[in-house]
Amino acid sequence: MKFIRDYLIIFAGIGLLVALAFNNVILPLYVNWNNEIRVPSLTHTDLDQATKILKDRTLEWTIKDTIFRRDIPSGFIMDQHPEAGQMVKENRKIQLTINLPPEKMEMPDLIAITQRQAKIALDRLGLVLVQTYSDSSDLYERTVVIHQSVVAGMPVAPGDSITITVSLGKRNLKKIMPDLLNKGLDEAKRTLEMRGFTVGRVQTTQNSELLPNTVVSQSVVAGKEFPKERVVQVDIMITDGF
C-alpha cells in the first residue's frame, strides 16, 4: 500500500513539473519564438478587443480595407494580414479589414421624373427600391414620380430602402353645369366661374314678368357633365329693362 502511495506522489510531482515547464517554457516559446511573436486570430472580434490583444503581444494594427454588411455589427474584423499563427517581429502592424457603414450621402430629388429614371438614379447610389405605389395626379402624367419616402437632401447610405409613388394620370374629375335660370346676371356669372365655366355672349329679351337682368335661358342645359380641364363657354339670355 505504501508502495502505491509513493508512486502516486512521484507521478503527481512529475505532473507538476510538466505543468510548470509548459507554462514557463513551452508556452512562451510558442508565443514568442526566436524573438518573434505569433499572430493571434482577430477575425470576428471588434476593434477594441483586437487592440487589447495586439497590445499584450507588442503588436500594432492598421486598417487595410473596409466593407459593409448589415448583418454584422459595425467595427467587427472581417479579415487580417498576416493570418493567425504566422510569426512576426515586435511592433509589426497587422492589416485589418473591418465592417464599417459607408459615409452618408444626400437623397436625390425624384419628383417629376419617370419611374424608370428614378430606378436608375437609386441604383447608381446603391439605394434599394423596395416598393412602388401608384396614385392619381392632376399635376403629373402617368409613370411620373409624385412622392418619395425619403425627402430629397436627407442623409442616406447604400442599402437603404426607398419607396416611391408614381402617377396614374389625372383623376377623372368632372364639372357639372349649374342651373342659372331665374338668377340675376351677376350671380349667374359668379356661379359659372366658381364651377369652372366661362361666360360667353349675354343677350337680352323682353319679359315683363321678371325683374331686369334675370336669366331666362342658358346655352348649355343644367346638369350636363364635362371633364374638369375642358374649357366650356356658356351663352346666357337675360331680361332687359322695362
Identify which of 225, 241, 235, 238 has the alpha carbon closest to the alpha carbon of residue 183.
238
List the single range of 5-14, 30-39, 55-64, 217-226 with lowest mean pLDDT: 5-14
* pLDDT tens per residue across span 17-51: 555 555 555 555 554 455 689 999 999 899 899 99
DSSP string, 103-147: PPEEPP--TTSBHHHHHHHHHHHT-EEEEEEEE--SSS-TTBEEE
User: Quick one: pLDDT at residue 59?
Assistant: 93
One-letter amino acid at 191 equals T
pLDDT at residue 8, as a whole number: 55
Residues 190 and 231 in one domain: yes
Last residue of a domain, one of 99, 121, 148: 99
Indicate if 111 and 152 belong to the same structural domain: yes
Percent of the residues in the chain that have a pLDDT greater than 70, as a whole number:
85
Cis status of the peptide bond prior to 102, with omega within 30 of 0: no
Whether the pTM exceeds 0.75: the reply is: no
Please indicate, yes or no, whether residues 213 and 182 belong to a single structural domain of this protein: yes
90 and 112, same structural domain? no
How far apart (Å, rounded) are the C-alpha atoms in residues 163 and 186?
50
109 with 92, same domain: the answer is no
Residues 146 and 132 in one domain: yes
CATH number at residue 179: 3.30.10.20
Each residue's pLDDT tens digit, 79-111: 999 999 999 998 999 999 998 877 778 999 999
pLDDT in tens, 126-173: 899 999 999 888 788 889 999 999 999 998 988 889 999 999 887 777
Strand partners, 96: 63, 80
pLDDT of residue 31: 47
Domain count, the chain: 3
What residues make up the domain containing 218?
174-239
Query: Element (H or E) spanning 200, and its range?
Result: strand 198-205
List of residues 6+ apart from 155 with CB closer than 8 A: 104, 105, 106, 107
Collapse the DSSP code of 20 into the 3-class scheme (helix H, G, I; strand E, B; otherwise coil) and give the result. helix
- Whether residues 11 and 70 share a domain: the answer is yes
Shared domain for 49 and 8, answered yes or no, is yes
Regarding whether 94 and 27 lie in a shared domain, the answer is: yes
Looking at the fold, whether 89 and 117 belong to one and the same domain comes out as no
Residues 26 and 47 in one domain: yes
SS3 content of the chain, % helix, strand, coil (to 5): 25, 35, 40
Q: Using a pLDDT cut of 90, give the percent of the chain over it.
A: 57
Q: Which of 45, 80, 99 is the last residue of a domain?
A: 99
Name the DSSP class of 25.
Answer: I
Buried b (16+ CB within 10 A) or exposed e, 175-195: bebbebeebebeebbebbeee
Does residue 60 sit in the same domain as residue 111? Answer: no
Give the H or E element holding residue 155. Answer: strand 155-156
Statement: residue 207 has pLDDT above 60: yes
Q: What angle do CA 22, 23, 29 make, to 5 degrees?
A: 75
